[in-house]
Chain A
Amino acid sequence: MATLILRIAVPSPLDRTFDYLPPPDCDLSALAPGVRVRVPFGHRDVIGFLVGTADGTAVVPDALRSAHAILDAEPVLSAETLNFLQWAQRYYHHPPGEVLATALPTLLRQGEPAIPPDIPVRWRITAAGREALAIGTALRRSAGQRLLLEHLAPYPAGLTTVSLRTTARNPSAILRTLRAKGWVEPHAAPGPENPPNPCSRSNLARPVLNEAQAAAVAAVVAELDHFQAFLLEGITGSGKTEVYICLIEAVLARGRQALVLVPEIGLTPQLLSRFNERLPGPLAVMHSGLTDRERLNAWLLARDGLARVVVGTRSAVFAPLRTAGLLIVDEEHDSSLKQQDGFRYHGRDLAVMRGQQLNIPVVLGSATPALETYHNAQRGRYTRLSLPERVGGGRESPIEVVDLRRQRLTEGLSQPLLARAGEHLARNEQVLLFLNRRGFAPVLFCHECGWLSQCHHCDARMTIHLRQGQLICHHCGDQRAVERACPLCGSVDLRALGQGTERLENALQTAFPDIPITRIDRDSTRRRGSLEVLLAGITAGGARLLIGTQMLAKGHHFPDVTLVGIVDADQGLYGIDFHASERMAQLILQVAGRAGRADKPGTVLIQTHQPGHPLLQILVSQGYPAFAAATLAERKAALLPPFTYQALLRAEATTAEQATAFLRAGLALAETIADGVELLGPAPAPMERRAGHYRAQLLVQALQRQDLHRFLDLWVPRLRAKKRDQRVRWSLDVDPIELY
C-alpha cells in the first residue's frame, strides 16, 4: 500500500514544497490542507504548512523524513485563504512557504496555538482620576495622559488597551503611569466587549447622506451578493468614510464581515475612532504597530467571526474571514499598500483578486485614484462612483500657483506666501506648510571649494539634522557629526543648501515669533504617543503654523486650517521614474484637501519654478480627472503601464560588475522564451549605489498580461535553477510601482 505523503510549504527562499511522511500516531482522516506542521528542515525544526497530500513521492525513501507534529486541529489557513495565497504566490512568483507565512501573525508562525484570547483586561478611570481631570493643572504637562483620561471618562465599564490605541499609540506605557498615580484601575470585565455607554454611538446623530453618497451606497448595496469592483472617487472632504460606514452596516445587517485596508493606521487615528464610535465592536485592528500578542488576538477575533469589522494595513488583505461580505481599500492609490521587499504584493490588487474569489464586492476609495485603477474604471472593468461635492456644501479650495522665478526667497518661502500666511494667522486661523523633506537641509557644502556631504555608502548626499548635530543619510541610515571644517580644504565656512522641515520651522519662528508652530515629520514623532500629542495641539484650535512632510498629508482632519502652502512642488515634476508626476499630483491634492474643511473656505498656494509645466497647469486649472486623462494619454503613447505590463528583475552586489553579470545571464536565459515580451537592460538603478551595494535592473515589459506571465512562468524557475554568483542578491517585482 502506498504511504501517504505530506506536501509541506516551508518558509524558505526555495520555490517549491517539500515531501514528508506524516508524524507517527497521526490521525490521517483529520488532516486538512492549511494546518501547521512542525518538520525537520536541514539541521533545524521549522513550522511549515500542509498544502496537500499525495500517494507517492520522487524523494528516495531513505531521504524521506517524518514530520514531527501537526499543530492544528482546524486549519489556520482556510481553503479560501489557501487558494487565494496560492494564486498570489503564482502571480508574484514568490516561494510558497514565505507567501503562506506572510499571511499569518508572527506568533502563529512560531507555533503558538491558535486559540481565542481570554477576555482582555479593561481599564477604567478612578474617582481620583476624575478629580485630576477636573482640576486640570495636574495634567498640564502631560497631554498624553490627559487625552487618555478624557477618553476613558465616559466609559464606566472601561476600555481595553487595544481600543485605547485610537487615542494613544502606546497606551500601555501611559496606563502604567496613570495606574501608579492611582488614576486608572484594571479589572477583568465580563459581558460584551464594547458595552454601550451614555454618550456612545446610539446617541450620535447619524449624518444625513447627500445625494451622491446615497447613490454610491445604493449602487454597492445592489451588488452585495456577487463580485464587482467599484472605484469610489470622492474629492477630499466628500465623505468617503461615511459611505464606508453605511456599506459596512449593510454588510453587517446581512450577518457578514467587512475588511477595510488603509494605508498607515498609525497616521490615521481619526478613521479608527470613527469606526469605533459608529460600528458595533469589537473591531479587529491589524498593523505593524501592535505587539505580536495583540496581532494574534485580532487575527483570532477575525477568524472566529467575533470581530465583524477588520481594519488593517496591507497585510490585513490576508486576514481570515469567516463570512466575508465586503472588501474596502481606502486611499487605494497609496504606495504603502505595496510591499517593497520580500513578497512584493500589492494590497489593493490582491484585495480585488480576493473579492473575485470570494464573490463579494470590492470598493476602492480615493480622491486621487491610481492611474491603473482609473484606467480599469474607464474601460468598464470597475464601476465608477463619484462624490463630486464636499459634505456640507463646502467647495474644494482654489489652488493658486506662485511663480518663484526672480522672487526673493526667505529660506525657500516667497513674499506672497508669507504675506498670505500672515493674513490667515491674523484671523486666528491655521496655516499648513507642506515640504516633503525632513531634516534641516538636504546638503552640506563648502563655500570655498565646493565639497558636498556625500554619503560614503550611497550615491546620495547626507541630510543635515541640526538638532542632533548629525549628517544622516536618508537612504542607508549612516550618520556622522556635522563637520566643523571642510574635509577637503579645511575651511570652516560650510553652508546648508536647500530646505528641510527643520529649517522651515526656524525661518517661520523668525517670521512669526508669536505664533505656535507644530512640526510633524518622522523626526518629531519618533517617540510613541508624540504624534497624538502634536495632533491634539492642532485640534485645540487658535492661530498656528503646521509644518509637515507627507505624514501630515494623509487623512487628518484639521478644521481650522484655511491656508495650505506647498513649499516645493518641483520635486515631482522631473523625476526619473515615470510614476513621479502621478505621485506629485496625488500628494498635492491630498495636502490641498487639508485646507478649509469646515465652514471656513480655504486656499492653496503652490510654489514652483515651473509655473508653465503642462501637467501642473492641467492639475491646477482642471483638476485630477483631467490630469489623469492627460497622464494616461502620455503613458499610452509611451507604452507604459497601465497600457503595458511590467516586471522588474533587480540585482545587487558589492560591485556593479557582479550585479550586471547576473542580469546579463538572466537576459541570456530569456532569449529562446521571450515571446511577446520585451527585455530592457540591464541598466544601473536610478540611484546605483546604496548602503554599499551596487544595484542594477532588468525590465520585462509586455503588451498583454498573459504574455508577461507565460514568460515569467518559464523564466523564473530557470533563474532560480541557474548556478549563480552567491554574492548577488536578486528579486523579482511583478507590477513594480517604482524603478528601484
Chain B
Amino acid sequence: MPAVSATDNCLIIAGYVVGQCEMRTSPAGVPIGRFLLEHRSSQMEAGLAREVYCRIPVVACGAPVANVVCDLVPGEAVRVRGFVGRANNREGEYRLVLHAAHIEIFNAD
C-alpha cells in the first residue's frame, strides 16, 4: 500500500454556522475555537441528482484560524478547509471533527 501523506486527508466543506461559537485558550496560551457547521447541497450520485445534508463540528486551533471563529455569528456562511480526525480517543466512538487550516467567510446570497 502506498504511503499515506498529509495531503491525503483534506476536506473542503461550506455551510452555515449553527449556534454559538465556543472560544477558549489552552493553558499554554493556544486559542481554540469550536463551532458546528451545517452543510446542504445538491450532488450527483449514481447518475442521479440528490440533496445532501450533514453537520460536522469544526475545531480551529491557533491564532490565525481561531481569530476567524471568534468573529463568526450564527447563520454566517463559511468555507472551511482542513483535515478530519477522531473527536476523541474513547473506545468505540468514531465521531469525526474537522480541524480547520483555513476558514473563508463568504456571502451566500
A492 touches B26 (CB 8 A): yes
Which B residues, 45 to 94, have Cβ-Cβ distances below 8 Å to chain A?
A: 59, 61-62, 86-89
Chain A residue nearest in CB terms to B26: A494
A466 touches B88 (CB 8 A): no
**Does B2 make an interface contact (CB < 8 A)?**
no
A489-B89, A492-B62 known; A444 vs B32 contact (CB < 8 Å): no
A495 touches B89 (CB 8 A): no
In the bound assembly, the distance between CA atoms of A515 and B12 in angstroms comes to 48
B28 touches A494 (CB 8 A): yes
In the bound assembly, the distance between CA atoms of A444 and B88 in angstroms comes to 17
- Contact flags A463-486 to B (C-beta < 8 A → 1, else 0): 010100100000000000111100
A482 touches B88 (CB 8 A): no
A493 touches B27 (CB 8 A): no
A464 touches B27 (CB 8 A): yes
A496 touches B27 (CB 8 A): yes
**Does A449 make an interface contact (CB < 8 A)?**
yes
In the bound assembly, the distance between CA atoms of A481 and B27 in angstroms comes to 10
Chain B residue nearest in CB terms to A481: B28
B28 touches A484 (CB 8 A): yes
Chain A count of residues within 8 A CB distance of the other chain: 20
CB neighbours (8 Å) of A484 from chain B are: 26, 28-30
Which A residues, 204 to 237, have Cβ-Cβ distances below 8 Å to chain B?
A: none
A469 touches B26 (CB 8 A): no
Q: How close is A168's CB to chain B, nearest CB, in angstroms?
A: 35
Partner of B26, one of A449, A450, A481, A493: A493
In the bound assembly, the distance between CA atoms of A548 and B26 in angstroms comes to 25
Chain B count of residues within 8 A CB distance of the other chain: 13
**Does A662 make an interface contact (CB < 8 A)?**
no
In the bound assembly, the distance between CA atoms of A482 and B29 in angstroms comes to 9
B26 touches A466 (CB 8 A): no
**Does A448 make an interface contact (CB < 8 A)?**
yes
Which A residues, 560 to 606, have Cβ-Cβ distances below 8 Å to chain B?
A: none
A482 touches B27 (CB 8 A): yes
A492 touches B30 (CB 8 A): yes
A440 touches B89 (CB 8 A): no
Q: How close is B102's CB to chain A, nearest CB, in angstroms?
A: 17
CB neighbours (8 Å) of B61 from chain A are: 492-493
**Does A528 make an interface contact (CB < 8 A)?**
no
**Does A447 make an interface contact (CB < 8 A)?**
yes
CB neighbours (8 Å) of A482 from chain B are: 27-29
In the bound assembly, the distance between CA atoms of A489 and B89 in angstroms comes to 9
A448-B88, A450-B89, A489-B89 known; A495 vs B27 contact (CB < 8 Å): yes
Partner of A495, one of B26, B62, B88: B26
A447-B88, A448-B89 known; A493 vs B59 contact (CB < 8 Å): yes
Chain B residue nearest in CB terms to A441: B27
Q: How close is A39's CB to chain B, nearest CB, in angstroms?
A: 56
In the bound assembly, the distance between CA atoms of A444 and B59 in angstroms comes to 20
Partner of A444, one of B27, B29, B87: B27
CB neighbours (8 Å) of B30 from chain A are: 484, 492
B89 touches A483 (CB 8 A): no
In the bound assembly, the distance between CA atoms of A484 and B26 in angstroms comes to 8
In the bound assembly, the distance between CA atoms of A448 and B93 in angstroms comes to 12
CB neighbours (8 Å) of A449 from chain B are: 88-89
In the bound assembly, the distance between CA atoms of A715 and B29 in angstroms comes to 56
Q: How close is A486's CB to chain B, nearest CB, in angstroms?
A: 10
In the bound assembly, the distance between CA atoms of A449 and B62 in angstroms comes to 19
Residue among A444, A469, A492, A495 with max Cβ neighbours from chain B (10 Å) = A492
- Contact flags A448-466 to B (C-beta < 8 A → 1, else 0): 1110000000000000101
Residue among B27, B28, B89 with max Cβ neighbours from chain A (10 Å) = B27
In the bound assembly, the distance between CA atoms of A466 and B29 in angstroms comes to 9
Q: How close is A545's CB to chain B, nearest CB, in angstroms?
A: 23
CB neighbours (8 Å) of A440 from chain B are: 27
Q: What are some 14 contacts across the A-B interface (CB < 8 A)?
A: A444-B27, A448-B87, A449-B89, A466-B27, A482-B28, A482-B29, A484-B26, A492-B26, A492-B30, A492-B32, A492-B61, A492-B62, A493-B61, A495-B27
Chain A residues in the interface with B (C-beta under 8 A): 440-441, 444, 447-450, 464, 466, 469, 481-484, 489, 492-496
Nearest 3 Cβ contacts at the A-B interface: A484-B28, A449-B89, A482-B28
Beyond the given pairs A450-B89, A493-B32, 9 more chain A to chain B contacts, judged by CB atoms under 8 angstroms and listed by A's residue number, are: A444-B27, A447-B88, A448-B88, A448-B89, A469-B28, A482-B28, A492-B62, A493-B26, A495-B27
